[in-house]
Structure 1
């Protein structure tokens, strides 16, 4: 029998100095590549302990819910595991260090930090060389620490194409969490997709300093609509601005999961994430003595994609966007220069294509984006 232990933590999301520091770490290695360190030794399934630390509640129907589906997949694939440790609402503070130290003290063989806690995690990694660690949206590697994330900018560009067709005003709104690379790449990709249809489209962002704050997200969505935006996008872990869009009669696209039931008439699509196969594969390697730290960015169609189109999305709009999606899957990249930043400075020269690591570390806004600065 698997022992599943859950703890709830308070102190939700204080973006401390460790997060800022982690964003400044140098780029490391290759996408999907394993480091040269020797694999950690094999562990019998019945003796293995696997830990998961989450940034939010597993009931959020968003980011943490998606990671929890991966936990359930691990439980199903490895029913003899000695223990699965799962902690919700891990804060960006010294409490995160204590949580991960507790995982180690309970015999964890592989630990997943499902939303980067930076140096708060790294302190534990350095003192537990026999334990494997994987940090979602991490920015560094060690012999026993790897990272993983999603190429969300590609499906975001596809949804942006749909937005370019659907928006009548050409004014797009974005409910942002923090000024971090995932938000810069999301806003930029979304507007670039829209501008492939309407070159005059613009995007206004409102930063609410949280990943999960329904009241603030609803207020931001309302303000954006009041300012003329007729298509809302964002990176929230809940449905608040979709509900606002539904009430106000504008379009909206979401993140993490299919939550169209909160706004069926407004819903265009969502950036859908799926960690199940990745988590099962990582645990399998750890048990078999084949696990080494690695760097992983999920390709579109393999852990990250757009959701099925909303029922009100016209067929011709869906077709146009999906033609672009197929081009990307076939190897085409829309992130080719010339690309200017919000001050008009050329950041990507004509003919140069941004790499996935360039996109992963994107920390500046393109021309046409307002309300967001590093």
Structure 2
């Protein structure tokens, strides 16, 4: 099958069918020593399972852009993909069909837990990668971006730009990736404006523009003058533009949807990671591991919006410089929403701890 072929979920279930650099921080070594045979580029098939449509303009589009850059490096490589893979037994059938189609590497661009692990366990000769995963086996690894640093930097700008000291966050699900994003943004804001609070409204979807619009409108009505979130569409930026508010986005540059309101975005670039992983698989050197894509190397803040005052951009970027130099802003004391100290003075939350964050920080409402 030539090119970046789409296998629809209907076909798969029927059993039919055929920048930012990348600094990698190994987070967990593979427990086994599995080796995969080298592959000729023209004989390789890489399969991708996406959580949303590749045209969503957000998370899945960011992965698709990375894949397209990877394919320019390996022009003879064959790829297939399925969009909007559900979090259900259907996912298992889709990943199993990838294996049946002859894929030597299967990459899930979201967390599918046991749905992908069960397939990987039964296909030891296939390399599997799971974005936002948690487990490493002989042939299953995970990768994720340390987006909390970019969120913190943007939060600094939010804390300096808000007039009401009320930030609004359009959330999706109360999972660690969302919790870390919201917490980091609020902590960044509080570092320069301790009076800042954040109200979260979760819409129980990664891509639901109507629900995101309703949530953003409710947050604006409650007095929030700076909106942020983690959705895959620009809906709440449109609300901010219409109501004269400021907003920070996720995944890609979305300023065209609200040029007067756009502050920045947590921008993603998976291309270098995909290039490295595919090259390792082709040469027979791939090994399962857990990998973080770090600030400036796979994830970063976007170019500041046109209406961000230069002095505010400079203060936020000074924080970015310190983080890049090795300083972490996630140092105690850090209290939870009830006021209880969760990170003691002098203690540091490392990336693994932030990756598993399951409690809201002080000043947060509506998150967990």
TM-score, length of structure 1 as denominator length: 0.92
Partner of 2:94: 99
1:39 Cα deviation (Å)? 2.4
Partner of 2:139: 144
Q: Which deviates the most, 31-40 or 197-206?
A: 31-40
SS at match of 2:82: strand
Partner of 1:68: 64
Total equivalences in the alignment = 354
SS at match of 2:65: helix
1:34 Cα deviation (Å)? 4.8
Q: Deviations over 1:115-168 (max 9, x none)?
A: 111111111011000000000000111100000000000010000000000001
1:9 Cα deviation (Å)? 4.2
Q: Deviations over 1:302-333 (max 9, x none)?
A: 00000000001000010000000000000010
Q: Deviations over 1:190-217 (max 9, x none)?
A: 0100001111110000010000000000
1:55 to 51, 54, 61: 51
SS at match of 2:192: coil
Q: Deviations over 1:63-105 (max 9, x none)?
A: 0001001221222111122x21111111111111111111101
SS at match of 1:252: strand
SS at match of 1:52: strand
1:108 Cα deviation (Å)? 0.6
Partner of 1:40: 36
1:33 Cα deviation (Å)? 4.3
Partner of 1:18: none
| Rounded Cα–Cα distance in structure 1 between residues aligned with 2:190 and 2:3 | 51
Q: Which runs of 4+ in 1 moved over 4 A?
A: 32-36
Contact 1:2 1:75 in 2 (8 A): no
Contact 2:9 2:94 in 1 (8 A): no
Whether 2:206 is the aligned partner of 1:211: answer yes
Contact 1:242 1:266 in 2 (8 A): yes
| Rounded Cα–Cα distance in structure 2 between residues aligned with 1:103 and 1:303 | 27
Q: Which deviates the most, 340-349 or 205-214?
A: 340-349
Partner of 1:262: 257
1:220 Cα deviation (Å)? 0.3
1:4 Cα deviation (Å)? 2.6
1:1-374 equivalences in 2 (<5 Å): 2-9=2-9, 31=27, 33-81=29-77, 83-373=78-368
Which structure 2 segments of 5+ residues have no match? Answer: 11-24
Q: Deviations over 1:39-80 (max 9, x none)?
A: 212112121110111011111110000100122122211112
Q: Which deviates the most, 31-40 or 53-62?
A: 31-40
Contact 2:30 2:137 in 1 (8 A): no
| Rounded Cα–Cα distance in structure 2 between residues aligned with 1:302 and 1:359 | 18
TM-score, length of structure 2 as denominator length: 0.94
| Rounded Cα–Cα distance in structure 2 between residues aligned with 1:111 and 1:120 | 13
Which structure 1 segments of 5+ residues have no match? Answer: 11-28
